[in-house]
Amino acid sequence: MSVSNEPHFVISTNDVATWLERQGDEWWTVELDPIIGSRIPLPGPMERLAKFLRYLNRPMLILDRRPAPTGKGEVIGSDDLDELVSYIGDEHNLSAEARKQSLWTQSRFFDCSWPNSTDDWRLREDLDTTEMIRADERESVEEGV
């Protein structure tokens, strides 16, 4: 099974960039994508990924992972993505206690693919790296660098 054969929506990469820009300054990454993953260093700040998604300017598929999925390939916009976002902890049905142990499980993601492709990839928030970067920044401030 791939995203294209499952309930999904179609969205422009520009709209995904717009959604990302509304999310704050977390770092994001992609998993197993040959197009984005071979062009820019990731994980990276939201702006880097958003800029590249605007450069791509093409449609992409997003899996409808909701309990009662309705996606049949309809075109959606950036305002619709909040409803489709998933959490790693939900995917693995982890307890609240387990989620506290790992920032990874608290990360948001979308399962995606490109039109006419059966290769799926994942757009994922990288809270582990975000935390590492923030800790580095705090350390720099404390040391007056």
Partner 1 sequence: MARSRLSTLQKVKAILRHVAPLPPEARTAIGHYWRSAIDQQNMLNYVRGHLLGVRNLRASVRDDYLSDLYAMLMLQAIETLERYFKEVAAVCIDFIGRYIIDDRFDTFRIQGSSFAAHFGTDTLGRALCESSTWLDTTTINSRFRAILSDSFEDGKFVLFPNGRKDPPADRERFECLEIVWQLRHTQVHNVGVITQSDAIKFHLMIREPVESPRLLVPTRDDIGHLKQFMDETAEIANQRIGTRLAELLTTIHAGYPTLFAPQDMADRVTNAFGVVLSVAGATGVLLPP
- Interface with partner 1 by CB under 8 A: which residues? 29-32, 34-35, 37-43, 56, 88-89, 92, 94-95, 97-99, 101-102, 104-105, 126, 128-129, 132, 135-136
Residue 52 or 64 with smaller CB distance to partner 1: 52
Residue 118 beta carbon to partner 1: minimum distance, rounded to whole angstroms: 14
Q: How near is the Cβ of 8 to partner 1 at its closest, in Å?
A: 21
Strands 86-87 and 44-45: unpaired
Residues 112, 123: Cα–Cα separation, whole Å: 7
What's the CA dihedral at 40, 106, 65, 62 to 10 degrees?
-20
Give me the least distance between CB of 13 and partner 1, in Å please.
11
**CA angle (106 as vertex; 68, 96 as ends), nearest 5:** 85
Looking at the Cβ atoms of 19 and 28, the one nearer to partner 1 is: 28
The smaller minimum CB distance to partner 1, of residues 10 and 94, is found at 94
Considering beta carbons, is residue 95 or 118 the nearer one to partner 1? 95
| 109: β partners | 86, 124
- Secondary structure element (H or E) that encloses residue 56, with its range: helix 46-56
Question: Least distance from C-beta 108 to partner 1, angstroms?
Answer: 14
Q: How far, in whole angstroms, is CA 47 from its chain's centroid?
A: 13
Minimum CB distance to partner 1, residue 26 (Å): 14
Nearer to partner 1, 74 or 101 (CB): 101
CA atoms within 13 A on the CB side of 136: 6
